[in-house]
Chains A and B, each alone.
Chain A
Amino acid sequence: MNNIDIAVIGGGINGSSTALHLAKNGLKVCVIDKDSICRGASGVNAGTLTMHMTRAKLIPFAKKGWELWMNTEKWLSNNIDVKKKNGLCLAFTEEEEKLLNERSQIRKEYGADINIISKSEALKIDPNINNKIKCAAFCEMDGYVSANQTGDAYTKALKENNVEIVENFEVSKINNLNNNYEIIDLHGGKINAKKIVLAAGVYLEKILKLVDINIKIKCFPQQLIVTERMPELLKTVITVAHGKLSLKQFENGTVLIGGGWPGKGNIENGYNETIPENLIGNMRLACHAIPNLKNSRVSRVWLGLEAETDDAMPIIGELPNLKNAFIIGSIHSGYTSGPYMGKLLSEKILGNDVDLSLFDIRRLMN
């Protein structure tokens, strides 16, 4: 493979979005993945596009990401299901009511159009919710994506834009030659590119070591639960004040229960397993929010690995002390913001004036 302008290492939502925007600007791009496009967290996350769970400082970016998701046919492809829904964030106790008021206020200050509504207003919007709620926060900017289709949609879009896709290529070495990077995989395969973008999700720590940068990337294995197909059980995307639940019903009738309840996971050998007590806790919270949910059956449980830096903020931008090397990752609510963050980084790479100072990796290096 020759004349590659930019090689993106990691074909998740961040890497693939960056690659796609770069290719649309005429660059010759290749995306490398140890598995296949969006087969990690990007393809197995809950697909929630909510402001209620987004970290306050990232709200402006999540809003832009949300807009992109609502218009996938314009920039991605038309074979991914995205639905706009109203979002309700519920409070069940006085303590939670206080927390919800505080948090919604801060998110509002960062630009989210969130308003506190009364119990009766909330029940009017979605009569399925538990009538024991104290109050709710309402936001029109909510919805979901069928995340399992992410790989299909991005593969199609990348191919249409002539991006080279190199799958099953596990990078083991990166050589920085004169104005050129040589990327080598476990089996000795080689790819040369003028610039590189590191977008390896939870594996970023390992990949950064290959270019002599040592920072800590934490890995959170999160459990997801899905029910069998059911008649209508809820109309909105449901979250809760303390942020430990996301709940939505897809068009096919399945209800997805998420909220970041941890399982066990090991990025070294890819082994992961669920923690039954945490599954049950997550299910109880879901059934408390939507009482009728308890009449359904769980059909599948799985895990996704979320990456987080020490200060829980993303790393996006240029890598220090290296020429033509960039990074993108550890974005909280990354599925919502990923498409926009990728676009931002592509603009930076293209030489446009983009302020990414909030996400500079140097803050994490000592």
Chain B
Amino acid sequence: MCYKKEYDVIIIGAGPSGVKSALTCSKKGLKVLIIDSNGNSGGQIYRAPPKSYIKKSEKTFEENLIQLKFSEDLTKNNIDTAYNHTVWQVSPGFKIDAFNENGTIQWNTKNLIVATGTYEKIIPFDGWTTPGVIGLAACTILLKAHQTLPGNKIVLAGNGPLLISVAYYILKFGGKVDAIVDTSSKFEWIKSMISLIFNPKNFIQGISWILKIIFSRVPIYSNSLINKVSKKENGISVEIQNIKNKQIKKLTTEVLAVGHGLTPSTDISRLLKINHSYDDLKGGWIPKLDKYFKSSMKGLYIVGDGSGISGAIAAEEKGELAAYSILKDLKLIDETEFENNTSKVIKKLKRYEIFAKGIAKLNATPKSLIENISNNTVICRCEDITKKDIIHAAENGARNLNQIKSWTRFGMGPCQGRTCQYSVAKIASEHLRCNIKDLGYLTGRTPLRPFPLDKAIGDFEYEEITKVEAAPL
């Protein structure tokens, strides 16, 4: 594709929120570019199979159909798409720097919509780095986009709705779920069901999934967590512990998929120094936005689950609201049209958010999950930082996440704390007996994703780089 240098609107992330905002903007004639590191639109929820993938089964998911519709709509509306491009830097103004297989590229825009979704929270436990332990969300990608089972026998652990959906897909593919280990109680599930009436579509889907799990007689361990995992000759040994009575049950399985909910991806908003606030029911730190998802920085919008977790359907509404706000600012729609269009969307969104908050309660992190981590367990996998190292920094006087990062090196590796930031904050706040909010959040840093040096430097002549003035003697 031949890209322009400048666009009216650039959207980072081609999930439901990004696609919806792209379509809404382009319908009024704006020149739109949508960028994604994946090979196609759809985000994680409607992720398309890789291009090289040969379909193994005749099963088509509803998700795949939605993705195909996204692709079709984007093409029909002449929206430029930059797939397989990883954004590594965003600067105010806005300059967006990305790289792909061939090298680097920079685009400019006055209106930037960030729709970068979420990443998975996994609270560590003894043996969580053992081969055979994967994330619940990673498991969904394997199942839905690749139509591949991670193993034949699987234990699912953690909390929240992903446990149910992953179990459903595994069973659908003929896999065996050895156990579901849930930190929540059955009572908490029933309570959360009340909020489901605000989202009937998800309600019906959820009930059908649960019924399938019940009919398949999958053992469910409520109020329980994974105490320990160790490698065995033919798989892994999983130790399940009941939070209340501390009873332990041992199982041997092939794969353990574990996840403790999702957290908004705030990499770009933190990099641009937008203020953030903490909201446990929205997944943690979220950027401060108005009701049209506009940030305090002119032209910057943050939509989808990256603005606070509320699910794929609500993500579309958020993308649409941001698009209307841009159209109004550019005087492509008048005040009346803006009000008419947005008021309906805001109403719908409110209902979805009540539903999302109800579900989010299932993702609360019980204290025992943190207490159970032993001192020598690695929390930051990039830099091999253990629970002991974090506690040591807190004991020596580190009082916020950035200081703990500096003293221990946690979060300094390729993932920049995406995997461990939440767990480190939980460990430190438990130890210091302070609110997790008081520890702040990690300063945003480029590159937003690890940046291969060979791609960055491209071909060059030595003379080109030495035009710099020599340092004074």
Contact = CB atoms under 8 A, between A and B. Distances in A.
Residue from A244, A281, A293, A299 with most neighbouring chain B CB atoms (10 Å): A299
Interface in B352-403: 382-383, 393, 396-399, 402-403
Interface in A194-251: 226-229, 241-244
A152 B393 contact: yes
Nearest to B271: A273
B458 to A, nearest CB: 8
Secondary structure call for the A interface: mixed
A292 B406 CA distance: 28
A294 interface: yes
A294 B413 contact: no
A39 interface: yes
Contact of A283 (B393, B413, B453): B453
B269 to A, nearest CB: 14
A43 B446 CA distance: 18
Nearest to B400: A36
A36 B403 contact: yes
B447 A301 contact: yes
B412 interface: yes
A243 B450 contact: no
B393 to A, nearest CB: 7
Contact of A39 (B406, B409, B446, B470): B406
Contacts of A297: 414, 450-453
A263 to B, nearest CB: 10
Given A294-B454, A298-B451, A92 B462 contact: yes
Contacts, number: 130
Contacts of B452: 296-297
Interface residues of B, number: 45
Contact of B457 (A227, A276, A284): A284
A244 B407 contact: no
A228 B452 CA distance: 10
Interface string B439-471: 000010111001111101100101011101011
Interface stretch (B91-99, B214-222, B343-351): B91-99
B453 A295 contact: yes
Contact of A227 (B106, B382, B445, B453): B453
A190 interface: no
A148 B413 contact: no
A243 B470 contact: yes
Contacts of A36: 399, 403
B456 A298 contact: yes
Given A156-B396, A228-B413, 14 more contacts: A55-B473, A93-B462, A152-B396, A155-B397, A241-B470, A242-B471, A281-B468, A285-B466, A294-B457, A297-B452, A298-B456, A299-B447, A300-B447, A301-B447
Interface of B: 89, 91-92, 95, 97, 104, 106, 273, 382-383, 393, 396-399, 402-403, 406-407, 409, 412-414, 416, 443, 445-447, 450-454, 456-457, 460, 462, 464-466, 468, 470-473
